[in-house]
Structure 1
Amino acid sequence: MRTVVADQLAEGAKAWHWPSGWGARLAQCMPIWTAKSDDLLERRILPSEHLKQALLEAAGRAINMGKPLDLGVFLFAFVHDRIGIAASALEEHGLDRHRLACRIAHGAAMDGAERDDALAPGIDEARLVILNDDYTRMAFVVEVLESVLGMPPDQAQACMMQIHHEGRADCGVFPLAIARAKVEEVLALARERCEPLRTSLANA
C-alpha cells in the first residue's frame, strides 16, 4: 500500500515543479520513513468497525472470486469500499481510488484504457473489446454491456461469461468516433464505481 501511494505522491510532486525533482524523491521516501518509524515505535492499527467491515468484505470478495485471501484482494477491498477507513483516508489526501484499484488489479499505473495505436490508419470503424480481470464485479460488466453498449440482458450475460472464461470479448463494431466515445463512457462509469475494467479498440 505504501509503495503504491508513494508512486502517486511522487507523480503529483513532479507537477509542483520543486527544484531538481526533490519533491518527487521526498514523496517516494516518505512512506518508507513512516514504515520504519511504525516499527521503531511499535505502532499498530487499532481494531475498528470500519476495519472489521473492510476485512469481511475482502473475505467475501475473495470467496466469490474463488481466490485465496491474499494481500491484493484485501487491498483492493479497502480501496474499492468508499466508506472504508483506508479509502476515506486516500480521498482526504487527494489520491485517486480508481487509479489505485487499477494498479492493484493490473500491476501498472493505468486508468483502464488500452492504447489503440495498433489501429490501422484511415479506418472508419473499430471493434470495442472488453478485457477480463480478477477484480471487476461481473454484475458491473453486465451493467456496462446493457447501459453503454445497448445489449439485451441475455446477450449481456453471455458476453460477460465469454469475457470471464476467454479473457476478452468483442462487444460491437462502431464508427471510430463512436467507438472512442463509448470507451470513454465505459471508463467514466468504471471510475465512478471504482471498478478496474479495461477496454481496447481493435481493427474491425
Structure 2
Amino acid sequence: MSEKTSIKEEQKIEIKKPKMYKVLMHNDDYTTMEFVIQALTEIFKKSAIEATQIMYDVHRKGVGVAGIYTYDIAKTKSNQAMDMAKESGFPFKLSMEEE
C-alpha cells in the first residue's frame, strides 16, 4: 500500500487597477464653443454646467480635461469626438495623457 502526499499550494492573485487616461481638449481659433459643449454632453456625458466649465477651461487655459477613463474608453471617446468635429468641419484636437 502506498501513501499519497498532497501539497496544497496557496496562490495569491493580485488584481491591479487599470491605468487611467485623461482625455484633453485643446483650444483652437475655429472650433465653436457650442460644438465643444455638444461634444462634452453627447460623447463624454457631461451635464450642461460641467460642459460649460470645461469649455471655459479650454478657452482660457488652452486645454481642458474632458474626462478620465481606462485606455480603451478614452481612445474610443477621443475618436468619436474627432470624427464628430471632422463631420462638422472643425479642426478640433484631443489628446490622451496617462494620469
Return the TM-score normalized by structure 1. Answer: 0.39
Q: Give 1:72-111 correspondences, 5 Å limit.
A: none
Residue 85 of structure 2 corresponds to residue 190 of structure 1: yes
Structure 1 Cα separation of the partners of residues 70 and 59 of structure 2: 26
Which protein, 1 or 2, shows the higher relative CO under an 8 Å CA cutoff with sep ≥ 6? 2
Tell me which residue corresponds to 2:68. Answer: 173
Q: Give 1:59-78 correspondences, 5 Å limit.
A: none
Structure 2: 5+ residue runs without aligned partners? 1-17
Residue 26 of structure 2 corresponds to residue 134 of structure 1: no
Residue 45 of structure 2 corresponds to residue 150 of structure 1: yes
Conserved 8 A contact 2:19-2:98: no
What residue identity is the alignment partner of 1:145? L
SS of the counterpart of 1:135?
A: coil
SS of the counterpart of 1:150?
A: coil
Aligned residue among 45, 48, 58 for 1:163: 58
The structure with the greater share of residues assigned to strand is: 2
Structure 2 Cα separation of the partners of residues 175 and 155 of structure 1: 20
What residue identity is the alignment partner of 1:195? F
Deviating above 2 A after TM superposition, structure 1's stretches of 4 or more consecutive aligned residues are: none
Return the TM-score normalized by structure 2. Answer: 0.79
CA apart distance, 1:162: 0.9
The structure with the greater share of residues assigned to helix is: 1
For these two proteins, the number of residue pairs brought into alignment is 82
What residue identity is the alignment partner of 1:143? Q
Structure 1 Cα separation of the partners of residues 19 and 73 of structure 2: 10
Structure 1: 5+ residue runs without aligned partners? 1-122
What residue identity is the alignment partner of 1:177? D
Structure 1 Cα separation of the partners of residues 93 and 50 of structure 2: 20
**C-alpha RMSD of matched pairs (Å):** 1.0
CA apart distance, 1:124: 2.4
Structure 2 Cα separation of the partners of residues 201 and 127 of structure 1: 6
Which of the pair has more CA radius of gyration?
2
Q: Percent identical across equivalent pairs? A: 26
CA apart distance, 1:154: 0.7
